[in-house]
Amino acid sequence: MPTTTTDWRELAACRDTDPELFFPISDMGPGARQIAEAQAVCARCPVREQCLRYALDNALDHGVFGGTTELERRKLTRSRRAHQAA
């Protein structure tokens, strides 16, 4: 009996969404609306945690991943480091 492994990205809510939605050019004005739209897609995603973990583990510093912006991921990374150092 063959076994198949499903890549978490195949289950992502964003799979059929224009990728540009997740890479706004700013976080103000139209960019802020774009971020909110991207985060709404992430909010209904069954693999949101895996996506965020992937972004954090690979230090992805552009775009919305796992429902977080670059700034939010930087804060999470700093918090992780502070907890590891303690």
Rounded Cα distance, 65 and 46, in Å = 13
pTM assigned to the model = 0.86
Each residue of 15-42: pLDDT tens digit? 999 999 999 999 899 999 999 999 999 9
Look at the alpha carbons of 6, 9, 13, 17 in this order and tell me if their dihedral is positive or negative.
Answer: negative
In the prediction, which pLDDT does 39 show?
98
Contacts of 40 (CB under 8 A, 6+ apart): none
Look up residue 68 and give its DSSP letter: B
Per cent of the chain over pLDDT 90 is 79
